[in-house]
Structure 1
Amino acid sequence: MFSSRAVIRAAGLRASSNVQISRSATQGSLRTYAAAAAAPSAQNSRPPVALYGVDGTYANALYTASAKTSSLDQVSKALSTLGEVFKKDPKLTTVLNAPTLTVSDKRQIVQELQRVAGVDKGDILKNFLTTLAENNRLGLLAGVVEKFGTLISAHKGEIELNITSAQELDNKTIQRIEKAVAKSEFSQGKKLKIVTKVNPDVLGGLIVELGDRTIDLSVSSKINRLNKALTDAL
C-alpha cells in the first residue's frame, strides 16, 4: 500500500540539494506538457472554470492534456483513487514535500503513484507526475487532485457541495444535507457532487459551501462571534 511510510523507506532519509525552480521555468514546462498531445479542438480542451494558485495551474494543464487525448474520465478515476490515499494518510503530503528526496526517490514515488492509480492511457498521468517531480512539486499533488475534481464537476454540469465537520459524518447525515440543499434554490437544479472534509478546528457543527455561498454553522464560528460581541461591549 502506498503511504508516507513507504515513501520514507524509499527515500532512505538520503539528503539532496533542494533545487529551486523558477516560476517562468515551471510555467514553461506546464505549457510544454499541456501541448504535448494533438488537440482535436482548443475549445473542447479548455478548462471549464478558472482556477487559481500553483495547484490550480497544474490542474488546468492536466485537464487540457487529458481533454486533448479524450482521457478525462480515465484520469479523473485515477486521481480519485490517489485522492483516497491522501485522505487515509494525511502525512503523505508532508513527506512528498521533503527536500531530502533525491531524483531516484522521486522516480520510485512516481512509479508507485502510477501503480496505485491504475490504467494510464497514453502515459498522460505518468508524464504529469514526472513533471511534478522534476519541478519539485510532488507536494502539490493533493491540491491538484482536489482542483481537478472541481474541473471535472464543472465539465459534467455538476456543482460541488462541500461539507466540513470536526469529525467524519455518517452516510445518513450526509444524505439529509444533500437532500435539503438539492431542494433549495441554491442548487440551481444541478446535480450535486458531495465533498466531505474533516477539520478538527471547527470544534463542532458544520460548514456547508455551495458555489460562492457558505453557511457556517460551526461551533468555532459561534465562539468567534461571541468573543467579538464581548470585545465590542467592553
Structure 2
Amino acid sequence: MAEFATIARPYTKALFGLAKENNQIESWLGGLKALASVVQQEKVAAFIGQSGKSASEKVEMLVDLVGLSNPNLKNFVSVLAEQKRLQILPEVYAQFQDLTLALNHTKQAVIYSAYPLNDAQLEDLTADLQKRFGINLKTITEVDPELIGGVKVEIGDQVLDLSLQGKLNALYAAMTN
C-alpha cells in the first residue's frame, strides 16, 4: 500500500541509520522480519487495533511474542505504538530489507517457474541474470503452474517474462491487433 510505504519511509531510514551505526543490520533485519510476521497474524492485528489497550501493553505483547531482546528495536516498537503505527511494521521490514540489499549492491529477484527449480538450474539462472543486469542478486523462487513452462523474473520494477504463457499472450495480442 502506497500510504504505508510513505509513512514507513522516515521510520525505516532512521532505524537503518542506527542499525548501520551499531553494525547490527543483519540482526535487526531478523527482528523486523519476526515483528512483521507477527503483526500480520489476524489475532495480533485485532489486538493492536483495540483502542482500549495502551501502547505499552501492545509493545509488551509484541516483544513477548517475538522474544525481542534488542533494546533499540524495543524502543522503535514503542515509538510506533505511541504513534499508533504498528501496522506499518511489514512495510518497514520490506524497506529495511531493500536498504540492506542496496548497501551490499544487491537486488532481490523473484523467479517464478512452472515447476520447482533444482539447485543447479537456480545457480545457472542466477548467474545469467546477474550477467544480464550487471548486479548481484538475491533470488527467491516461487512455483506458478499457470506459466506452463519457462520462467518469469521480477527485479524491482523490471519484469523479464520468458514463460510459455507470456509468449502465448504476446502471440494472441499480435494476432488480434
Relative to the length of structure 1, the TM-score reads 0.54
1:152, CA displacement in angstroms?
0.9
Pairing 1:134–2:76 present: no
- Give the alignment's Cα RMSD to 1 decimal: 3.9
Q: Does 1:180 align with 2:128?
A: no
Distance in 2 of aligned mates of 1:82 and 1:186: 35
Show CA shifts across 1:18-61 (max 9, x none).
xxxxx9xxxxxxxxxxxxxxxxxxxxxxxxxxxx6323332212
In structure 2, list runs of 5 or more residues that go unmatched.
none
Compared CA separation, residues 155 and 100, structure 1 to 2 (3 A): closer
Q: Which has the higher helix share?
A: 2
Give how far 1:135 is off: 2.1
> Percent identity over the alignment?
25
| Residue number in structure 1 paired with 2:62 | 113
Contact 1:59-1:148 within 8 A present in 2 as well: yes
So what's the TM-score if we normalise by structure 2? 0.67
CA 1:219–1:62 in structure 2 vs 1: closer, same or farther (change >3 Å)? farther
Q: Tell me the amino acid that sits aligned with residue 204 of structure 1.
A: E
Match of 2:138 in 1: 193
Contact 1:96/1:138, CA 8 A, preserved across alignment: no
Residue 209 (str. 1) matches residue 154 (str. 2): yes
Change (3 A) 1:99 1:82: closer
Matched residue, 1:144:
92
Give yes or no for contact 2:126–2:139 (8 Å, CA) kept in 1.
no
Change (3 A) 1:216 1:75: same
Which secondary structure does the structure 2 equivalent of 1:104 belong to?
coil
Q: Which runs of 5+ in 1 are unaligned?
A: 1-22, 24-51
2:22 is aligned to 69
Is this contact kept in 1: 2:16–2:96, CA < 8 A?
yes
Aligned-partner Cα distance in 2 for 1:94–1:111: 15
Determine if contact 1:161/1:195 at 8 Å carries over to the other structure.
yes
1:4-153 correspondence to structure 2 within 5 Å: 53-83=6-36, 85=37, 92=41, 96=45, 100-102=49-51, 104=53, 106-115=55-64, 116=66, 118-120=68-70, 123-153=71-101
Deviation (angstroms), 1:148: 0.7
2:107 aligned residue: 159
**Residues 67 and 99 of structure 1, relative CA distance in 2, 3 Å threshold:** closer
Distance change >3 Å, CA 137–CA 159, structure 1 → 2: same
Secondary structure of the equivalent of 1:204?
helix
- Give the Cα–Cα distance (whole angstroms) in 2 for the partners of residues 165 and 92 of structure 1: 28
Counterpart contact for 1:82–1:117, Cα < 8 Å = no
For the residues of structure 2 that align with 1:182 and 1:143, how far apart are their CA atoms?
Answer: 29
